[in-house]
């Protein structure tokens, strides 16, 4: 049995997708979390001075999407063939860009300014993306982003849009009924539900 | 042989890695480039209104620059020899994706003085610390390649990033602490297929 140690802040952030993949596939792992103040202690030991890092029997792997992709591929959540795997990669890359887009919002301390930046982000980036995404979901016709069954791409969209709606309201995905349904579906998967109910409560 | 059509602007930017992979592997493809003014006509046809996009056999479309490059690398033997190596390569290319993001602001700055300032800051804050780590890993891996014992798309990604026009113009000292990586990048550049493509590709600002 391979030993996984996922090393990340005690946040969801860029570590959560890997955690969701492992919980969905019911794969045991060490969910190693540290507080922000402890980071300097661990930083030098990481491959590129960043987290998350996944240790696989002690061998380190860095970069959040690389980690989640590796776990998805090892545990049957990456797609049924090479084309599906690439489709899943594509969707997860879209989420990576959206996460990056939220950074100025999250770090803005002025509430009024934060609201402005959020509205701009939703209007110029999120909504156009969601319009295309709805078309893709309808075209695929299965309720899932890729192929006929769940992949890490679906978990990535859940992982991004669930906190977005919690924090900024349901209106974020109101015009995306297929995505809304998908996010709800993932939220109700027993192993995901159980993990979400018991995971540490964190702001991000 | 699948029919590939790569849609992108007539720049290197985020399309170049895929072009380099295909040229390195000797795989023919339709290198479809359009000018900025023609973009609106193509935008609505793209899966997410963005490019690059790879169209395969005239029917399936794949978006996202690194997804496309990974797909091509895997199809043409440049992704690594096993699952672990493939992930190591993914990891390095993800690092390059972040470095691209960091270099965006300097790249688009038109004032040359301000551009140098911005470049130096990105170099100091982001690129140098990163290269320090990469050099350590490269030496530990035997000095020849980033992943395993042969060339992967990760090596090509570092070559592509560190030979952009802005890097060529302002990045003279960027490898002062990374001699092995400098050598690796030169080796990629000296590959006959890469060399031939680079000599004949359109000359673009980015």
pLDDT at B93: 97
pLDDT at A168: 86
DSSP structural state of residue B45? T
pLDDT at B201: 96
Q: What is the mean pLDDT of the segment spanning A47-65?
A: 97
Whether residue A69 has pLDDT greater than 80? yes
Q: Does B130 touch chain A (CB under 8 A)?
A: yes
Contact B83 A73 (CB under 8 A): yes
Q: How many CB atoms lie within 10 A of CB A74?
A: 17
Report chain B's terminal Cα–Cα distance, integer Å. 31
Helices A64-74/A16-24 angle, 10° precision = 10
Q: Does B91 touch chain A (CB under 8 A)?
A: yes
**CB proximity list for A123: less than 8 A, separation 6 or greater:** none
pLDDT at B144: 94
C-alpha–C-alpha distance, residues A69 and A54, integer Å = 12
Q: How many CB atoms lie within 10 A of CB B93?
A: 26
pLDDT at A1: 86
Contacts with B66 from chain A: Cβ below 8 Å: 89, 93
Interface test mutation site (partner B, options A4, A17, A47, A81, max chain B beta carbons within 10 A) = A47
Whether residue A167 has pLDDT greater than 90? no
- DSSP secondary structure, B101-134, as one string: HHHHHHHH--SHHHHHHHHHHHIIIIIHHHHHHH
Question: Between A62, A83, A129, which is nearest B60 by CB?
Answer: A83
Third-level CATH fold of A82-188: Glutathione S-transferase Yfyf (Class Pi); Chain A, domain 2 (1.20.1050)
Of A120, A132, A125, the residue nearest A99 (C-alpha): A125
Q: What is the mean pLDDT of the segment spanning A83-88?
A: 98
Contact B188, B156 (CB under 8 A): yes
Q: What is the pLDDT of residues A1-37, one digit of tens each?
A: 899 999 999 999 999 999 999 999 999 999 999 999 9
* CATH homologous superfamily, domain B4-77+193-200: Glutaredoxin (3.40.30.10)
Question: Between A56, A59, A90, which is nearest B62 by CB?
Answer: A90
C-alpha–C-alpha distance, residues B120 and B169, integer Å = 12
Contact A82 B75 (CB under 8 A): yes
Contacts with B63 from chain A: Cβ below 8 Å: 90, 94
Residue range(s) in chain B whose domain bears CATH number 3.40.30.10: 4-77+193-200
Check whether domain A4-76+191-198 has CATH 3.40.30.10, yes or no: yes
Q: Is B201 helix (H, G, I), strand (E, B) or coil?
A: coil
**CB proximity list for A92: less than 8 A, separation 6 or greater:** A17, A65, A68, A69, A152, A153, A156
Contacts with A70 from chain B: Cβ below 8 Å: 83, 87, 90
pLDDT-based confidence at residue A56 (cuts at 50, 70, 90) = very high
Contact B91 A129 (CB under 8 A): no
Q: Which residues of A touch B (CB under 8 A)?
A: 47-49, 56, 59, 61-63, 65-66, 69-70, 73-74, 82-83, 86-87, 89-90, 93-94, 100, 128-129, 132-133, 136
Q: For strands B53-56 and B60-63, give the pairing.
A: antiparallel
pLDDT at B206: 82
Low-confidence ranges of chain B (pLDDT < 50): none
Contacts with A63 from chain B: Cβ below 8 Å: 90-91, 94-95
Q: What is the ipTM of this complex?
A: 0.94
C-alpha–C-alpha distance, residues B26 and A176, integer Å = 43
Nearest Cα of chain A lies from the Cα of B124 at a distance, in angstroms, of: 15
pLDDT-based confidence at residue A133 (cuts at 50, 70, 90) = very high
Domain spans of chain A?
4-76+191-198, 82-188
Half-sphere exposure of B146 (CA within 13 A, CB side): 32
Question: Between A70, A93, A128, which is nearest B67 by CB?
Answer: A93
Contact A47 B84 (CB under 8 A): no
Contact B71 A82 (CB under 8 A): yes
Nearest Cα of chain B lies from the Cα of A47 at a distance, in angstroms, of: 7
Residue that is written with structure tokens 């100025």 in the block = A104
Q: How many CB atoms lie within 10 A of CB B129?
A: 13
> With b meaning 16 or more CB within 10 Å and e meaning fewer, what string describes B11-29?
bbbbbbbbbbbbbbbeeeb
Third-level CATH fold of B83-190: Glutathione S-transferase Yfyf (Class Pi); Chain A, domain 2 (1.20.1050)
């Amino acid at each position: 049995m391979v030993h996984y140690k996922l090393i990340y802040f005690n946040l969801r952030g860029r570590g959560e997708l890997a955690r969701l993949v492992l919980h969905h596939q019911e794969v045991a792992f060490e969910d190693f979390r540290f507080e922000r103040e402890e980071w300097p202690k661990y930083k030098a030991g990481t491959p590129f001075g960043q987290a998350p890092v996944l240790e696989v029997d002690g061998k380190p792997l860095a970069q959040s999407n690389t980690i989640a992709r590796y776990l998805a591929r090892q545990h049957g959540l990456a797609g049924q063939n090479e084309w599906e795997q690439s489709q899943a990669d594509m969707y997860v890359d879209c989420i990576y860009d959206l996460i990056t887009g939220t950074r100025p919002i999250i770090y803005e301390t002025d509430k009024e300014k934060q609201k402005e930046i959020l509205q701009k982000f939703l209007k110029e980036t999120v909504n156009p993306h969601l319009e295309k995404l709805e078309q893709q979901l309808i075209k695929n016709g299965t309720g899932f982003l890729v192929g006929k069954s769940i992949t890490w791409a679906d978990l990535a969209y859940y992982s991004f849009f669930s906190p977005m709606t919690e924090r900024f309201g349901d209106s974020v995905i109101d015009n995306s009924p297929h995505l809304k349904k998908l996010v709800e579906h993932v939220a109700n998967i027993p192993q995901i539900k159980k993990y979400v109910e018991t995971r540490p409560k964190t702001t991000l | 042989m699948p029919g590939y059509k790569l849609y992108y602007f007539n720049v290197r930017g985020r399309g170049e890695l895929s072009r380099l992979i295909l040229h390195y592997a000797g795989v023919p493809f339709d290198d479809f480039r359009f000018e900025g003014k023609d973009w609106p006509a193509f935008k609505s046809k793209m899966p997410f209104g963005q490019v690059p996009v790879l169209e395969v056999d005239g029917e399936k479309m794949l978006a996202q620059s690194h997804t496309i490059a990974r797909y091509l690398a895997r199809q043409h033997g440049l992704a690594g020899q096993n699952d672990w190596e493939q992930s190591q390569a993914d990891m390095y290319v993800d690092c390059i994706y972040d470095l691209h993001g960091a270099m965006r602001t300097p790249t688009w700055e038109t004032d040359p003085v301000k551009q140098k300032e911005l470049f130096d800051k990105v170099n100091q804050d982001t690129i140098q610390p990163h290269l320090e780590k990469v050099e350590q890993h490269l030496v530990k891996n035997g000095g020849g390649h980033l992943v395993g014992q042969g060339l992967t798309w990760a090596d090509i990604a570092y070559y592509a990033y560190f030979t952009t026009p802005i890097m060529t113009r302002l990045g003279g000292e960027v490898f002062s602490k990374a001699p092995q990586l400098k050598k690796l990048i030169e080796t990629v550049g000296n590959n006959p297929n890469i060399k031939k493509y680079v000599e004949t590709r359109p000359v673009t600002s980015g």
